[in-house]
Amino acid sequence: MTIRLLPEDVAARIAAGEVVERPASVVKELVENSLDAGATRLEIETRTGGQSLIRVRDNGQGIPQAEVTLAFRRHATSKLETAQDLERIRTLGFRGEALASIASVSRVTCTTRYTEESVGTRLRLEGGKVVSRQSLGWPQGTELRIEDLFYNVPARRKFLRAARTERKHIDAFITRYAIAYPQIAFSVMHDGRQMLLTAGRGDVREALLAVYGTDLGNSLLEIPAVFAEPELPIQVRGYVGPTTVHRANRGYITLFVNGRWIQDLRLTYAVIQAYHTLLPVKRYPVAFVIITLPPEEVDVNVHPAKTEVRFHNGDDVFRAVQRAVRGTVIAEAPAAATWQAPPPTAQQVVHQRLAALRPASPQAPLPEIAPADRPRPSQPHTAPAFEAAPPSESVPPQARARRLPPLRVVGQVSTMFIVAEGPDGLYLIDQHAAHERILYEQMVSAWRQGDIPSQALLEPVVVTLPADDAARLEPLLPALQTLGMLVEPFGGASFLVRSLPAHWRDADPQMLLADLAANTETQAPSPVRLELEEMIVRRICKRLAVKGGQVLSREEMDRLVRDLEQTENPRTCPHGRPTIIQISLEQLAHQFGR
């Protein structure tokens, strides 16, 4: 085979594949260029998830007229001069590849005016080639319009996801930078809809509220400067969630190093380890950690995407992050460090939830309840207007065999497991998993019968989520409505909750929707109606079920066991975990040498 040099346009498209993976990659490169240019205001607009249009406009210093065309040449940069500069990079961009790569796979319009010039320049490129250039009046700063991304690389274009998925990736990036750079005013529009707007006043808490919403934004704890490493040139700051705030995946752990968002498994593990013994099993913290250290102590020239870094002393950075996060959590919420006896009202709270499994009066009307007036633990609980179906002779023998024999409750172990005696031995019941199974069968049965009582709220509740969570939640709104929960878009990343199912009425709408969005698969295929509703019910039941660590009275344990006996599949929770461990009489006798 003959060796030959690739044509310039082919080489550029191959190189673009390393930098421009999807529309979010374009947004990342353009936003970082704007920040390097000293912008204090950024406007980001997209259409169809960035596939047809990405527009990023800033008020930075702009590009000089003589250098506009040069800026779109490969390896053209104003941020490096010598090889030694690679050892102490202080800017977000430095490789000189982004603009050239973007221009080679799209149609680009760059309009800019340098701060020391009175006339601006507009440059148009297609496939990396200049098609027009003109001078015009323009305010200081730069606007880049990226249209028809991958129009000349159909193989790459066909692998792009749905517009909603691509928007989610864009939002995930921008929201992180909006928090890390609170002094920058960010405005984000998707298909003409405002999704994010920050004031840019330098108040980190204000940025957290704009991105995460009031409940989550206010709950986060600030990492005080006292936890910075005094003997090392490493500073750790940011915000972390208390032990009462956690999520089902690691997606809420964000790391910045010297102003750059990075992905680092080891530092993510440092944050998770800082919560060791403080969170439930398979739950993860919310954390926004910003690490600052001398530029010569970190190598950012690892990958063209610049999201991977190497530390000169990785162990020191690991310890600094873990120490700062754990110190903040322990100092602000020491009671959460170990399991303690529940507060005096814990039994009343549990009694409320267990009472919800069976109505006192199925015909009783359900009054409307405003969010502020929901029953407190000490108040009587109004039960839902349905219950699990009683056993019937029409149930097939194999189904009856799966059910439990009559059990007698003996007690509770470690405030997590119920001990019961049956005719064939001893039963250990996981109270959380068992309650999940009971709630799940009741809710699914009522949904299938079209008999879920919905209860309108006197005052609708506004729920604000991070933009990427809002994008995940929006497709679920019709399914939530069939389950009796009316949720409407309320502008940006906010939703208006107008009604709740009667059996969820004591739940916090903010926590329900946040947990549902965080648990939704990023790229799950569109499921059929049955699968989608049951998925939602499974996830909500997990949140509503009584938790391990809660004390139950004898009456509450009896009620839970009786209702578990009536379920179709009492031996597993909706997620497949066992609810019961059975120890036969023969096993017990063998252990005692009988």
**Residue 348 confidence (pLDDT):** 46
Question: pTM for this one?
Answer: 0.64
Q: Which of 202, 190, 22 minimizes the C-alpha distance to 101?
A: 22
Q: What is the pLDDT of residue 81?
A: 57
Q: What is the reported pLDDT for 382?
A: 30
pLDDT value of position 371? 37
Q: Please state, in angstroms and rounded to a whole number, the distance separating the CA atoms of residues 324 and 271.
A: 9
Measured CA distances, 339 to 414, 461, 545, 557 (Å): 10, 32, 19, 21
Residue 411 lies in a domain: yes
Structure tokens at 32: 């970082």
Same domain assignment for residues 322 and 438 = no
Parallel, antiparallel, or unpaired: how do β-strands 417-422 and 454-464 relate?
unpaired
- Please list the residues that pair with 583 across neighbouring strands: 426
Q: How far apart are CA 573 and CA 434, in angstroms?
A: 6
Number of domains in the chain: 3
Residue 225 in tokens: 């400067």
Rounded mean pLDDT for each run of 10 residues along the chain, 594 residues in total: 69 63 92 93 96 96 93 74 63 76 93 95 94 95 95 85 91 94 96 93 93 89 78 89 88 93 92 84 90 88 74 90 91 46 43 47 38 36 32 41 79 92 91 91 83 84 87 88 89 89 79 81 40 79 85 92 89 82 88 83
Distance (Å, rounded) from C-alpha 10 to C-alpha 20? 15
**What is d(CA 462, CA 509) in angstroms, rounded to the nearest whole number?**
9
What's the CATH number where 229 sits?
Answer: 3.30.230.10
Is there a single domain that holds both residue 18 and residue 163?
yes
Domain span at 485: 346-361+373-584
Q: 446 and 560: one domain?
A: yes
- Looking at the fold, whether 172 and 35 belong to one and the same domain comes out as yes
Amino acid letter, residue 129: K
Buried b (16+ CB within 10 A) or exposed e, 459-488: ebbebbbbbbbbbbbbebeebbeebbbbbe
Residue 245 lies in a domain: yes
* DSSP string across 54-86: EEEEE-S----GGGTTGGGSTT--SS--SGGGG
Contacts of 109 (CB under 8 A, 6+ apart): 122, 123, 124, 143, 144, 145, 147
Strands 141-147 and 107-113: antiparallel
Based on the fold, state whether residues 459 and 508 are members of the same structural domain. yes
Q: What is the largest CA-CA distance in the chain?
A: 99
- Is the domain of 69 the same as that of 174? yes
pLDDT at res. 3: 76
> Which pLDDT value is given to residue 6?
64
3-state secondary structure string, 322-377?
HHHHHHHHHHHCHHHHCCCCCCCCHHHHHHHHHHCCCCCCCCCCCCCCCHHHCCCC
CB atoms within 10 A of CB 87: 11
Which helix (H) or strand (E) element contains residue 169? Answer: helix 163-180
Domain with 45 in it: what CATH number?
3.30.565.10
- Both 419 and 313 in one domain: the answer is no
Question: Residue 517's closest CA among 590, 552, 466, 577?
Answer: 466
Residues 6+ apart with CB under 8 A from 356: 381, 383, 384, 503, 506
Nearest to 333 by CA among 439, 241, 206, 209: 241
- Domain shared by 473 and 495, yes or no: yes
